[in-house]
Structure 1
Amino acid sequence: MNATPSPAPAQSKAALTDMAARFAQRAAAYDRSGEIATDNLDDVREAGLLGLTIARADGGQGGGLRQIVEVIGTLAKGDPTTALIVGMHYLQHAVIAKAANWPQAARRQVIETALREGALINALRVEPELGTPSRGGLPGTRITWVDGKPRLNGRKIYSTGSTALRWGTVWAATDEPEPRVGQVLVDLTQPGVSIERSWNQMGMRATGSHTVVFDNVELPDTALVDLRAPEEWHNRDGSLVLGHVLAIASLYDGVARAARDWLITFLHERVPTALGKPLATLPRFQTLLGEIDALLMVNESLIETALTRAESGNYPAHEANLAKHVVTENAIRSVELGLAAIGNPGLSQDNPLERHYRNVLCARIHTPQADVALAAAGRIALDTGR
């Protein structure tokens, strides 16, 4: 991933903010239905934003980490489910832009369909038995050869964007005596690919993170884009890991900021009869907003520090993981404070604060999870004495 600053994307900050406002008007309905907000994705396509991290030489905008964080953080204030689908698309194209092993034909196909048709891509990695690959283990999704042609069998859960995706980079293992592991590029519209509508979560309901099933899917040789010995995956590109970490941090920070903005409006509009003036005039609620803003100020500082250090090439992965942990926990805490302070209105499905709370809690399940981030940082501190 390009960590250095690059020109802003075609959309200005004001245009992104306007787009997020449209998303916010639709968010409650999609949360209730659990369907992907396809009209949001159409807005992103029409704005020319799907080429943000595609290299300029390939017709994209060549955006880097700072641009990803700006777009995802802004769109998440309107609808974090759309922002997550778009963010995963950005990260996959950042991988493709740097990939040395990908066949040129596969690379061109994914890039050209993104630019010409707005085709979306995401990595499909998690399995029922394996869980997340970040914790180790061979995937059960397997590549076999039948009459010399590769075929794919298996299933992937928590496949964000599933029904809206054209492409999936599927984490799979070969059935060779010494298995290779890695990415297989699959056109999700081809025969043998099906989707089980299994996503029915408390939060981030409209991500469409269903189960994708591969039943004897015949693949072209160019689909085997990056297969390696398992141990060769231990040293992943740090810039790509950083991209994922900061995209997730900025997304959930955006949710917390949307919750804050709604709370401010509520406190100004709510005038209890016994009080005769808005709740916003009470010192208790003024202190509350100060506490929330302090948490979000820390988030802003951490994200900016991470971006600056990434641009200088000096940001260790364990520190980035800690930043994700702190930013997302601050985001959760800030929404909890508002929820606890206003009582029943905060838990009503007629108000967005309840949805923001369910959504922001999902920050804890994204890699790296708290135990991994904290243990790694602790080990390094004890090993180095710093």
Structure 2
Amino acid sequence: MPRVDVTLRNPRDHAIAVYADELAAEIAKTAAQHDAAGSFPHDHFDILTARGALRLTVPQAHGGEGYSLYETLIFQERLARGSGSTALALGWHLMVFGYLGHTLRWQPEALASLAADAVQRGQLINVLVTEREAGNLLRGARPGTVARRVEGGYVLSGRKAFCSSAPRLQKMIVYAWVEDEGRVAEFLVPRTEGVRVIENWNTLGMRSTGSHDIAFDQVQLPPEALLSYIELGQVGSFTVASRAYGLQLSAVYLGVARAARDFALGFADRYHAQSLGKSVLEAPQVQQRLGEIELLLGASKTLLYGLVERWERHPHLQAEFGDEVAITKVTVSRNALRVVELAMAIVGGHSLSRDLPLERYLRDVQCAQFNPPQEDTVVASLAKAAITHWHADHPAPVEAAEPAAQAAQAPVTVPLAPSVTAEAVDPAEAAEVADAADAAVAA
């Protein structure tokens, strides 16, 4: 009997899974070619656009499918089995509408217009928040990209890095420093004159996401291009609700790991070992590795889907899930990497061949550790939180501290020998007593 996927809770979830599996099978046909060439998969996005994938997280009120975060995970995990790069590139677009549909900080007309671009015109959207010098601007750094107020609107100049889907983007949400106001704001920037893609994305993994730099050279923008201001220390459009929508990226890496598992399982089942006289799948060491893979995949699915289901079930607590979101991201990333390593161990030396997909899966899962939040930041934050909570729950007892302080301030008296009076002390003996008193104070 086939195993029941308990993450699929109802007929709608099952329909999403079938839909994503069909798309994954289509894009898998050319995934290796795009990876080898480092080319952006326009053919994949032609398929995704024609099949309605660009409107999945657009609110239903604006013509979209209104996928929940949980449903987005189902879709992304399965799409990534066909191409991790394509799923990751699409994921940023899906995440934009997920956040905006959750908490809108713009004028409603701005979301309506952006939704129409995606639903009716098939335009791919991304939010550009990273710069070479400043890093990820969501952490609070001042952007180097500057918007200068002029008659009739703004002029935007600067450069953004790691702009996934850059070759296909028609609209970009750009974080910029508003020069005459001394504030950071989100601007909606169309692909117009002055917007230039700098093709410098040549990486180890996720090679076909098209995450090039984009330069903005004196781009003219109307006043309504300013969408909202970003206030230091406050959540913004793409940091609300504990940044939970970023977990759709974790689903992508889980999907890549699952693809590695499926390939290794099929390879071992077909490969006949003469020394065993049967399929490699019957070897105890192979079954040990396969069992570890199943443990890691099961733990990741339980953690990821379980967290998001709780997050959706308790809207009033969503802002408090920050640690849980970060823990889940790091754990799923770690597990995905280990799953691919174990899959390669099952396949053996053949796994290194570029004619097989395992080496691509291994390169792709390396990228998980560099998507925010990064592991070192998460670990440091969790450690500080643990210390803070411990001190809050175990305060130092005030009663014990006060007597100790009083004792430290009291004068130290060194008694004389019982048979000696002060008047009878020899000068040399008196010096020894003084030295002893000084030593006691110092101690």
TM-score of the pair, normalised by structure 2: 0.81
Distance across 1 between alignment mates of 2:275 and 2:381 = 53
1:286 aligns with 2:287: yes
Partner of 1:262: 263
1:168 aligns with 2:172: yes
Contact 2:80 2:253 in 1 (8 A): yes
Contact 1:11 1:47 in 2 (8 A): no
For 1:173-252, list aligned pairs within 5 A.
173-176=177-180, 178-188=181-191, 190-233=192-235, 237-239=239-241, 241-244=243-246, 246-252=247-253
Structure 2 residue matching 1:8: 3-state secondary structure:
helix
> What runs of 5+ residues in structure 2 fail to find an aligned partner?
1-8, 394-443
Structure 1 residue matching 2:208: 3-state secondary structure:
helix
Name the Cα RMSD after superposition: 2.1
For 1:1-386, list aligned pairs within 5 A.
8=12, 12-98=16-102, 100-176=104-180, 178-188=181-191, 190-233=192-235, 237-239=239-241, 241-244=243-246, 246-313=247-314, 314=317, 316-385=321-390
Q: After alignment, is 231-240 or 306-315 more displaced? A: 231-240
Contact 2:267 2:347 in 1 (8 A): no
Structure 1 residue matching 2:200: 3-state secondary structure:
coil
Cα distance, 1:134 vs. partner?
3.7
Code of the residue aligned with 2:201 in structure 1: it is W
After superposition, the Cα gap between the structure-2 partners of 1:326 and 1:122, relative to the gap in structure 1 and judged at 3 Å, is same
Structure 1 residue matching 2:64: 3-state secondary structure:
coil
Distance across 1 between alignment mates of 2:237 and 2:33 = 42
Higher relative contact order (CA 8 A, sep 6+): 1
CA distances 1:324-343 after superposition (whole Å, capped 9, x unpaired): 10011001011112223433
> What runs of 5+ residues in structure 1 fail to find an aligned partner?
none
Code of the residue aligned with 2:205 in structure 1: it is G
CA distances 1:288-318 after superposition (whole Å, capped 9, x unpaired): 1001110111001101221121012245111
Distance across 2 between alignment mates of 1:235 and 1:59 = 21
Cα distance, 1:274 vs. partner?
3.8
Structure 2 residue matching 1:145: 3-state secondary structure:
strand
After superposition, the Cα gap between the structure-2 partners of 1:18 and 1:376, relative to the gap in structure 1 and judged at 3 Å, is same
CA distances 1:209-241 after superposition (whole Å, capped 9, x unpaired): 001000000001111101233343479754261
Code of the residue aligned with 1:381 in structure 2: it is A
Structure 2 residue matching 1:118: 3-state secondary structure:
coil
Structure 2 residue matching 1:194: 3-state secondary structure:
strand
Distance across 2 between alignment mates of 1:236 and 1:109 = 18
Code of the residue aligned with 2:146 in structure 1: it is R
Distance across 2 between alignment mates of 1:100 and 1:202 = 36
Contact 2:276 2:283 in 1 (8 A): no
Q: After alignment, is 348-357 or 304-313 more displaced? A: 304-313
After superposition, the Cα gap between the structure-2 partners of 1:99 and 1:180, relative to the gap in structure 1 and judged at 3 Å, is farther
Contact 1:179 1:229 in 2 (8 A): no
Distance across 1 between alignment mates of 2:237 and 2:50 = 37
Code of the residue aligned with 2:137 in structure 1: it is P
Structure 1 residue matching 2:143: 3-state secondary structure:
coil
Percent identity between the two aligned chains = 34
After superposition, the Cα gap between the structure-2 partners of 1:212 and 1:11, relative to the gap in structure 1 and judged at 3 Å, is farther
Contact 1:203 1:362 in 2 (8 A): yes
Contact 2:264 2:343 in 1 (8 A): yes
Distance across 1 between alignment mates of 2:220 and 2:357 = 45
Distance across 2 between alignment mates of 1:222 and 1:147 = 13
After superposition, the Cα gap between the structure-2 partners of 1:328 and 1:372, relative to the gap in structure 1 and judged at 3 Å, is same
Distance across 1 between alignment mates of 2:121 and 2:142 = 34
Cα distance, 1:43 vs. partner?
1.8
Contact 1:141 1:172 in 2 (8 A): yes
